Amino acid sequence: MPARLSEAFINHPVHLNQNHVDFNSAKEVPDSYTWPPIHDDSSPADYGYDVDSSVPVIDLSDPISSVKGQISHACESWGVFQITNHGVPTDLLEKVQTEGKRLFSLPLQQKLKAARAPDGISGYGVARISSFFPKLMWSEGFTIAGSAVDHARKLWPQDYINFCEVMEEYEKEMKLLAGRLMWLMLGSLGINKEDLQWAGPEGKFKDSCGALQLNSYPACPDPDRAMGLAAHTDSTLLTVLYQNSTSGLQVTRDGGKWVTVPPISGALIVNIGDLLHILSNGRYPSVLHRAVVNRKCHRLSVAYLYGPPMHVQISPLSKLVNLNNPPLYRSVTWSEYLGTKAKHFNKALSSVRLCAPLNGIIDVKDHNRVKVG
């Protein structure tokens, strides 16, 4: 263990300031990035031998009644599924990947020009959840909430338009897809347009909010000891994730073993967030997930984080509540919940819980093996 911080980075990645490291020059993982070994809990499920222990794949071009049935099963038992034939053009997915790679391959000094402000949402930076852990994560991110122009102009003063156009087009497609997925999920719970006023007169979720999160996971000299993105749930209603051909996303089911979500060319991953967990009164639980890294390949993922209009009160839907199923959560706006998440992280959901469950188990257990506090 080095005695001083400066010694830790001799022959190690170059730290340009306290939190940013140039991963490309890394020959080994510095102590500040070293987590306890993470792959000792892998199972045969990682290799997809057993259908029941694989994340469901749903073909959205199947008959609607079949899709609803599959979605209901996936949401109740997994909280995550992959979709094919979703209608998002393949060439758009490719363009998003190209632009994402172009961004993260810029020199670190250039990326830092577009750094996220301490109290801001958009921009370049380390994983936001880093502050809850004593160790750093082997990843970098870029968040787009609203227009990307101001930050993109700092990255490429002459040449930012293509990036912005691609991200804008992608966000539009994601918003449409997320609205469609919402009705499939809600429909499978027996909820219709009259039950959800904030979806708007035609149920198009016109005022919903969303953000894009681009994640880059460089190849890592010691992947068993590094963490790409620590275990968390998203605060969203749902998240649509695009991952390139390199695996890394893992999910847990009922606090069990980590299961890898294998990359399927052209597919998108859908995961349930805390707000849908609340809205469905716990019927569709948010899924705990994390990203691991690997020795050989760089990995890129793009998450579309989808939520309701910021100031709409979200509470368990009255159709899902009765004497046997009392409301489990108090009402909360997305704006308030994001603040709660930023403060309490994986305990945010239990902090808005109304009554203790009969079995005494509180929502999401903290599965991160490195804990603080």
Ligand X SMILES: C=C1C[C@]23C[C@@]1(O)CC[C@H]2[C@@]12CCC[C@@](C)(C(=O)O1)[C@H]2[C@@H]3C(=O)O
Ligand Y SMILES: O=C(O)CCC(=O)C(=O)O
In the bound state with ligand X, the residue whose beta carbon lies nearer, of 60 and 261, is: 261
Binding site partner of 128, from Fe ion, ligand X, ligand Y, none, Cβ cut-off 5-8 A by kind: ligand X
From the CB of 360, what's the least distance to ligand X, in Å? 26
180 touches ligand X (CB under 6 A)? no
Residues within the interface to Fe ion (CB under 5 A): 234
Closer residue to ligand X (CB): 135 or 341: 341
Min separation Cβ 231 and Fe ion, Å: 9
Q: What angle separates helix 64-77 from helix 161-187, to the nearest 10 degrees? A: 90
Binding flags for ligand X, 235-264, as an x/- string (CB under 6 A): xx----------------------------
User: Is the C-alpha dihedral spanning 285, 174, 242, 168 positive or negative?
Assistant: negative
Asked whether position 243 contacts ligand Y by CB under 6 A, the answer is: yes
Distance from C-alpha of 306 to C-alpha of 51, rounded to nearest angstrom: 29
Say if residues 62 and 71 touch (Cβ distance below 8 Å): no
**In this chain, which of 8, 115, 211, 370 binds ligand X, going by CB under 6 A?**
211
Asked whether position 303 contacts ligand Y by CB under 6 A, the answer is yes
When asked if residue 216 is in the footprint of ligand X (CB under 6 A), the reply is no
338 scored as a contact of ligand Y (CB under 6 A): no
Q: What is the dihedral of CA 190, 193, 198, 204, to 10 degrees?
A: 120
Q: Which of 4, 180, 299, 330 is catalytic?
A: 299
Interface region with ligand X, contact rule CB under 6 A, candidates 68-76, 166-174, 231-239, 280-288: 231-239
Residue 82 vs 301, nearer CB to ligand Y: 301
129 binds, among ligand Y, ligand X, Fe ion, none (CB under 5 to 8 A by kind): ligand X
Report the nearest approach of ligand Y to the CB of residue 244 (Å).
10
Interface with ligand X (CB under 6 A), residue from 82, 208, 213, 271:
213
- Beta carbon of residue 239, minimum distance to Fe ion (angstroms, whole number): 6
Per CB under 6 A, does 301 bind ligand Y? yes
The binder of ligand Y chosen from 46, 234, 274, 363 (CB under 6 A): 234
* 3-state SS track over the chain: CCCCHHHHHCCCCEEEECCEEEHHHCCCCCHHHCCCCCHHHCCHHHHCCCHHHCCCEEECCCCHHHHHHHHHHHHHHCCEEEEECCCCCHHHHHHHHHHHHHHHCCCHHHHHCCECCCCCCCEEECCHHHHHCCCCCCCEEEEECCCCHHHHHHHCCCCCHHHHHHHHHHHHHHHHHHHHHHHHHHHCCCCCHHHCHHHCCCCCCCCCEEEEEEEEECCCCCHHHCCCEEEECCCCCEEEEEECCCCCEEEECCCCCEEECCCCCCCEEEEECHHHHHHCCCCCCCCCEEECCCCCCCEEEEEEEEECCCCCCECCCHHHCCCCCCCCECCECHHHHHHHHHHHHHHHHHHCECCCCCCCCCCCCCCCCCCCC
Closest residue by Cα to residue 313 from 282, 275, 266, 363: 275
Structure tokens at 35: 């987590």
Comparing CB distances to ligand X, the nearer of 74 and 126 is: 126
From Fe ion, ligand X, ligand Y, none, interface partner of 236 (C-beta below 5 to 8 A by class): ligand X
Q: Is 102 a catalytic residue?
A: no
Binding mask 278-317 for ligand X (x = CB under 6 A): ---------------------------x------------
**Which segment (16-24, 60-68, 243-251, 272-280) binds ligand Y by CB under 6 A?**
243-251
Q: Catalytic site residues?
A: 299
Binding site residues, ligand X, CB under 6 A: 121, 128-129, 143, 211, 213, 232, 234-236, 305, 338, 341
Binding site residues, ligand Y, CB under 6 A: 213, 215, 229, 234, 241, 243, 248-249, 289, 291, 301, 303
